């Protein structure tokens, strides 16, 4: 069976999917707190504040995943600094149990894949043009102060002419990024970043997962990639933006529900559905048409 698309009068359409739930009993599940400002990975994550002994939040989401069991809830503290992490949920341990979903509650936190360009990462050329060569190729993005910069693209089928790159824009040419600075702008002295980490959140072979109130931004490939054999997965109030390939990718036989979310301003696709993947979008914004392929 191939994936299918039906549009039902929302801004960006709906992929229709009905989830059936059975009345299973509640399980005894735990809560793990994460705070990338005050947390410490030597603590146990059982308290949102440091209380003495081992009680207090861990510093990274990955440490919380190290502690996590089936049906647990991970609660993030939102701070000014994003969580610079790349996460994977795979298998039964990161699934729900009974009526309890395995949950990541972001409280508005940002998870970012951006990597700051060091001063010596830039090479100055002529006429305000600067060059930076990413270590990993294939998908690119350039950011300033955490925001995506506009990309210059040549006409379809034509190579990029570096002389035609306007001020304040960038282009990809032969595996490198070329940026033409604004008047008196010196990129090595500013907070430029590349899409560095590959994927914000990868899911494979999980069931009963809830991800809510969190942003995945500035990853080299996808904000969220639902690989295969995932079902009863709910994204609510999730934003995927500024990613180098796709905001959300749903693949294999995976089934996902996306509620009150934003998949916007990603470089190639905001939403890609392949193979037998199914996605049910409810009150969710896309900035471009979803890509559907067998």
Counting residues of the chain whose pLDDT is more than 90, the rounded percentage is 85
- State pLDDT tens for residues 26-44: 334 699 999 999 999 999 9
- pLDDT at residue 135 in the model: 85
- pLDDT at residue 277 in the model: 97
What residue ranges of the chain have pLDDT lower than 70? 1-29
- pLDDT at residue 294 in the model: 80
- pLDDT at residue 253 in the model: 97
- pLDDT at residue 172 in the model: 94
- pLDDT at residue 29 in the model: 66
- pLDDT at residue 2 in the model: 52
- pLDDT at residue 286 in the model: 98
- pLDDT at residue 3 in the model: 55
- pLDDT at residue 36 in the model: 98
How far is the C-alpha of 66 from the C-alpha of 56, rounded, in Å?
16
State pTM to two decimals.
0.88
- State pLDDT tens for residues 197-250: 999 999 999 999 999 999 999 999 999 999 999 999 999 999 999 999 999 999
- pLDDT at residue 11 in the model: 40
């Amino acid at each position: 069976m191939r994936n299918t698309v039906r549009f039902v009068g929302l801004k960006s359409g709906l992929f229709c999917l009905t989830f059936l739930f059975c009345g299973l009993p509640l399980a005894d599940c735990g809560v793990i707190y994460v705070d990338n400002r005050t947390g410490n990975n030597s603590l146990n994550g059982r308290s949102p504040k440091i209380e003495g002994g081992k009680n207090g939040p861990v510093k990274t989401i990955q440490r919380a995943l190290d502690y996590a069991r089936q049906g647990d809830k991970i609660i993030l503290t939102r701070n000014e600094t994003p969580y610079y992490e790349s996460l994977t949920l795979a298998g039964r341990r990161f699934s729900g149990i009974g009526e309890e979903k395995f949950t990541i509650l972001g409280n508005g936190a940002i998870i970012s894949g951006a990597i700051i360009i060091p001063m010596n990462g830039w090479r100055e050329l002529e006429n305000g043009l600067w060059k930076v060569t990413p270590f990993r190729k294939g998908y690119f993005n350039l950011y300033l102060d955490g925001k995506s910069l506009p990309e210059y693209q040549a006409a379809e089928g034509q190579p990029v002419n570096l002389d035609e790159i306007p001020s304040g824009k960038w282009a990809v040419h032969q595996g490198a990024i070329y940026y033409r600075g604004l008047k008196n702008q010196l990129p090595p002295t500013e907070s430029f970043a590349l899409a560095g980490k590959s994927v914000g959140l990868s899911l494979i072979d999980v069931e009963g997962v809830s991800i809510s109130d969190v942003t995945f931004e500035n990853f080299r490939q996808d904000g969220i990639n639902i690989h295969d054999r995932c079902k009863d997965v709910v994204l609510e109030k999730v934003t995927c933006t500024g990613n180098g390939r796709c905001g959300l990718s749903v693949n294999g036989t995976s089934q996902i529900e996306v509620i009150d979310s934003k998949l916007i301003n990603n470089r190639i696709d905001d939403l890609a559905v392949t193979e037998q993947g199914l996605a049910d979008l409810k009150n969710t914004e896309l900035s471009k048409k979803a890509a559907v392929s067998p």
